[in-house]
Amino acid sequence: MAIRLGENNYGKQRVRILQVSRRLGRHDIKELTLGICLEGDFESAHSKGDNRKILPTDTMKNTVYTLARKNPIASNEIFCLQLIDNFWKNIEGGLPVASGIVHKHDLSGSFGNQGHETVNSAGRDRRRRTGQFPIK
């Protein structure tokens, strides 16, 4: 009886991003928690010890940080698609990728309808989940 490896995936979860957009007299803060999942044929990694198709999870995390640093996060969905596109182009074999974001909250340096320089707010934890983006 032969043993067969079933569906295989791995990834990095709980990658936290805090992005501050500084504008004249106002700072906007966006806090996100992101997860990445790679799916594919990793049988050679398990059976032969060949890790050429394996992307280290620290590399996944650092890719998220680099992409967030280069591009302001205007929309969670667009950021997810940019991240998936980046992995798709740069991973050997073009592994399918899924990504999801939990948007914790936005804080703005404003009070009411008027901007204010020194607003300090703990903010409410308003969680909004951006769905999974499977590519197959």
Tokens of 89: 């182009």
Cα gap 5→42, rounded to integer Å: 9
Cα gap 7→40, rounded to integer Å: 8
CATH number of the domain that 22 lies in?
3.30.1130
Q: What is the pLDDT of residues 15-59, one digit of tens each?
A: 999 888 887 777 778 888 888 888 877 888 888 888 888 888 999
Per-residue pLDDT band for 136 (boundaries 50, 70, 90) equals very low
The verdict on residue 49 lying in a domain is: yes
DSSP type of residue 91: S
Q: What is the pLDDT of residues 52-68, one digit of tens each?
A: 888 889 999 999 999 99
pLDDT for res 118: 47
The verdict on residue 2 lying in a domain is: no
Residue 89's φ and ψ, nearest 5 degrees, are -75, -25
Q: Is the pTM of this model over 0.85?
A: no
Residue 90's φ and ψ, nearest 5 degrees, are -110, -5
Q: What is the pLDDT of residues 103-125, one digit of tens each?
A: 665 665 554 555 555 444 444 44
Number of domains in the chain: 1
The verdict on residue 90 lying in a domain is: yes
Which residue type, as a one-letter code, is found at position 38?
L
Residue 83: is it exposed, middle or buried by C-beta count within 10 angstroms (0-12/13-18/19+)?
buried
Contacts of 108 (CB under 8 A, 6+ apart): 26, 27, 28, 29, 119
Mean pLDDT over all residues of the chain?
Answer: 75
Tokens of 8: 């295989």
pLDDT for res 106: 62
